[in-house]
Amino acid sequence: MKDFAAIDFETANSERTSVCSVGVVVVRNGEIVDSFYSLIQPEPNYYTYFCSRVHGLCREDTDSAPVFPKVWAQIAPLIEGLPLVAHNKSFDEGCLKAVFRCYCMDYPDYTFYDTLWASRRAFPKAENHQLHTVAALCGYRLENHHHALADAEACAWIAMKIL
């Protein structure tokens, strides 16, 4: 696959609508050509200890952040016509669909590909298929894991190697 957009969400709590950050990496002709990152005011707007511990974000970080529709208005033109790729697409696609429903937005029925599923086929004997492990197997060193843009970049790298 030569043209796609890798996407990653972080959430504030267990609700899929609670996206609090997004990272997008655009790949065209097999090269990273653009990226986007934003904090997002989550809905519902509260953070669980577990989620904050994973990604390091808390309510103070997103209190003045834009709501999802304003962020998506910036992302939509970047990814127009591209399939989306995520590592564990059920999570990221689920978040995207949930937040579109939450804000009564028309979902464009994006095509999603999953690097987690693909990595299980490509590396059946891997120790595990977590993002940082698979990224390393593809020659990419993931730093700042659970930062949405860093994770989207790792996902893009994996997709360029195995999709």
In sequence order, what E strands does the chain have? 4-11, 19-28, 31-39, 84-86, 112-114
* CA dist list (Å): 146 to 3, 22, 61, 119, 142: 24, 11, 15, 19, 10
* CA dist list (Å): 85 to 13, 14, 138: 23, 22, 16
Output phi, psi for 58, to 5 deg.
-140, 175
Q: At what angle do helices 148-162 and 115-122 cross, to 10 degrees?
A: 40
In the numeric block, the tokens 């590396």 are attached to: 123
pLDDT in tens, 93-145: 999 999 999 999 999 999 999 999 999 999 999 999 999 999 999 999 999 99
State yes or no: pLDDT of 85 exceeds 90: yes
pLDDT at 161: 97
In a 3-state reduction of DSSP, which class is residue 118? helix
Query: Which pLDDT band, with edges at 50, 70 and 90, does 32 fall under?
Result: very high
pLDDT at 1: 87
Percentage, residues of the chain above pLDDT 70: 100
pLDDT at 4: 98
For the chain, list the domains and their CATH numbers.
4-162 (3.30.420.10)
In sequence order, what E strands does 78-126 have? 84-86, 112-114
Query: Which pLDDT band, with edges at 50, 70 and 90, does 69 fall under?
Result: very high
